[in-house]
Amino acid sequence: MKAIQAALLGIGTVGGGTFEVLNRNSEEITRRAGRPIRIVTVADRNLEHARKVVRDRAQIIDDAFAATQDPQIDIVIELIGGTTVARDLVLSAIEHGKHVVTANKALLAKHGNEIFAAAQKKGVMVAFEAAVAGGIPVIKALREGLSANRIQWIAGIINGTTNFILTEMRNKGLSFAEALKQAQELGYAEADPTFDIEGVDAAHKATIMSAIAFGVPMQFERAHIEGISHLQSIDITYAEQLGYRIKLLGITKMREQGIELRVHPTLVEADQLLANVEGAMNAVLVQADAVGKTLYYGAGAGAEPTASAVIADLVDVTRLHTSDPEHRVPHLAFQPEEVRELPVLPIEETVSCYYLRLSVSDETGVLANVARILAEQGISIHGIRQIAAPAGATRTDVIVLTHETVEKQVNTALAAIEALPAVHGAAVRLRVEHL
């Protein structure tokens, strides 16, 4: 059968990996897809680098827009990243009737609604398995594998950089700054790591999973985002003593009043599989009504793992491109007319358990006051522990673990607790999830 012709936009790390894997495994992939899939055009501004990778195996151009308009191209693979030129390129490809495969989570989280609407109108597919959790086929699991279920919540380690840093902080007792430095030296963190360490990357991915799990539009602008740059080693230590590990989780939950969509460092019980996902690996845990809990684990980044997802999409698009658009897998898992406007709840309305660390004067009555204030806010205490103060110290740490509480009640209680004369400075507040 005639080969499917693809244009690859951007031959950086993932682009290079995609080109290599597609060539190396072309026989295997053709045996599966039923026809060859060929990258016939590579567009990159750095022609010299592109030539080094591609050699004479494809046409090399520097104008990516030419590829999106080329009548010979069936599928456009967008791997240049960013949300400006990438958006224009994807929309141009759709406008010209091309199917699109992209790994660009920022683009979809921010402009997915516009892009999917355009694709729907033109009857083309926009596939994005590589946008979440790299090589783990979790988009496919959510959209197709769990289609019988009401998905109730998702909690995922979906950023390898931060998971690597947290693993190093715990295993080696490093500070955040030390662990970040090490991650940068080893290539696990970029020179400007802001997007990763502040949770923005994880929020892009959580936004996408939220949309396809619940059949709602992308609502990135409403996501609550906390990173790990303010996380202190002492809280990792205390959490460990209490039987927890701290992970940066992307969480989305269906609640009666709306959807929760939040990224933050989270205490997870140490014997949970998710707590044992180490280093730069990713894992996504899904709770759904019929199947219960399922977990998907693997490499969340890197040239070839991400290429694996990009190429799986190429094979899917190749299989489905002859079918009528009404019988394809809908972009957001639900038929376009069935996507619903369910609001993301403000963080004050979300429900979680909490870990609170207070620095208090080592004197009687403090715990009683803290417990009273929590009770006044209707916050049920799971445990409260005063850390033994070193000899001669006048201050000590108190750790409170709460049962499930609405966040705004915690806010009110903490304001009152922080106003106590025996409580010094701001409390440290982390969320705890029982997964």
User: What are the residue numbers of the active site?
Assistant: 205
Residue 91 CB, nearest distance to its own copies (Å)? Answer: 25
Q: Which stretch binds its own copies (CB under 8 A): 51-59, 220-228, 292-300, 365-373?
A: 292-300
> Per rule CB under 8 A, is residue 25 in the interface with its own copies?
yes
Q: Which stretch binds its own copies (CB under 8 A): 47-55, 141-149, 191-199, 225-233?
A: 141-149
The residues with which 140 forms a beta bridge, in sequence order, are none
Question: Between residue 75 and residue 134, which ones bind its own copies under the rule CB under 8 A?
Answer: 129, 134
Contact 208, 131 (CB under 8 A): yes
Q: Which stretch binds its own copies (CB under 8 A): 281-289, 363-371, 384-392, 420-428?
A: 281-289
Q: Which is closer to its own copies, CB of 310 or CB of 344?
A: 310
Task: For 175, list phi and psi in degrees, rounded to 5.
Answer: -80, 165
Q: Which is closer to its own copies, CB of 11 or CB of 146?
A: 146
> Per rule CB under 8 A, is residue 291 in the interface with its own copies?
yes
The residues with which 6 forms a beta bridge, in sequence order, are 39, 75
Looking at residue 390, the DSSP 8-state letter turns out to be P
Q: Is residue 383 classed as helix, strand or coil in its secondary structure? A: strand
Which residue among 8, 107, 154, 295 contacts its own copies (CB under 8 A)?
295
The closest alpha carbon to 238, from 435, 430, 404, belongs to 430
Site string for its own copies, 252-271 (x = CB under 8 A): -------------------x
> Per rule CB under 8 A, is residue 157 in the interface with its own copies?
no
Neighbours of 251 (CB within 10 A): 25
The residues with which 428 forms a beta bridge, in sequence order, are 357
Question: Between residue 374 and residue 413, which ones bind its own copies under the rule CB under 8 A?
Answer: none
Q: What are the residues whose beta carbons fall under 8 Å from the beta carbon of 67, sequence distance 6 or more?
A: 7, 9, 41, 43, 61, 73, 76
Q: Which is closer to its own copies, CB of 253 or CB of 262?
A: 253
Residue 130 CB, nearest distance to its own copies (Å)? Answer: 10
Alpha-carbon gap, residue 122 to 114, rounded angstroms: 13
Contact 251, 262 (CB under 8 A): yes
Residue 161 CB, nearest distance to its own copies (Å)? Answer: 17
Task: Give 278's Cβ-side CA count (13 Å radius).
Answer: 7
Question: Between residue 218 and residue 237, which ones bind its own copies under the rule CB under 8 A?
Answer: none
Residue 118 CB, nearest distance to its own copies (Å)? Answer: 20
Residue 312 CB, nearest distance to its own copies (Å)? Answer: 5
Q: What are the residues whose beta carbons fall under 8 Å from the beta carbon of 430, sequence distance 6 or more?
A: 235, 239, 246, 264, 265, 266, 267, 354, 355
Alpha-carbon gap, residue 272 to 249, rounded angstroms: 14
Neighbours of 422 (CB within 10 A): 19
Which residue among 140, 247, 331, 357 contacts its own copies (CB under 8 A)?
140
Q: Which stretch binds its own copies (CB under 8 A): 20-28, 51-59, 379-387, 398-406?
A: 20-28
> Per rule CB under 8 A, is residue 141 in the interface with its own copies?
yes
DSSP code string of 297-355:
EEE-SSHHHHHHHHHHHHHHHHHHTTS-GGGSPPTBSB-GGG---PPBPPGGG-EEEEE
> Per rule CB under 8 A, is residue 31 in the interface with its own copies?
yes
Residue 81 CB, nearest distance to its own copies (Å)? Answer: 20
Residue 126 CB, nearest distance to its own copies (Å)? Answer: 17
Question: Between residue 296 and residue 355, which ones bind its own copies under the rule CB under 8 A?
Answer: 296-299, 304-305, 307-312, 314-316, 319-324, 326-330, 333-335, 338
